[in-house]
Amino acid sequence: MGKFTEYLDGKVYSCIGCRSNLARHTDIVSKQYEGNSGPAYLFRNAVNVRCSPPKCEQLYSGNHTVSTISCVTCSYQLGWKYVRVSSPRQKYKEGTYLIESAYTIKENRYV
């Protein structure tokens, strides 16, 4: 376990396990994704996450190289980061974070 290092203000998504800030509402690319547990959000940026070594996975949209992401504070597994995608049509996903909605809390934070 570690301590989260970055605080976000405004509308944010936080880890359900420890409430560490993860991403800003304004960084949502799409809410139309599915993770392993159900609905998920695709974010441009995420903070306070740890990435596993990348590996090739067969996902709904094809073979992609992804890193599993977990919370730096409580190690709760949150989703994955797209490292490389197989299709040129899906290049926009590279570098984005898929965070499963079941593992987040929506908060309004004003620092």
Model confidence at 5, pLDDT cuts 50, 70, 90, reads: confident
Q: Which of 50, 43, 36, 19 is nearest to 92 (CA)?
A: 43
pLDDT-wise least confident of 5-14, 36-45, 48-57, 101-110: 101-110
Residue by residue, what is the 3-state secondary structure of the chain? CCCCCCCCCEEEEEECCCCCEEEEHHHEEEEEEECCCCEEEEECCCCCEEECCCEEEEECCEEEEEEEEEECCCCCEEEEEEEEECCHHHHHHCCCEEEEHHHEEEEEECC
- pLDDT tens by residue, 51-71: 999 998 877 777 889 999 999
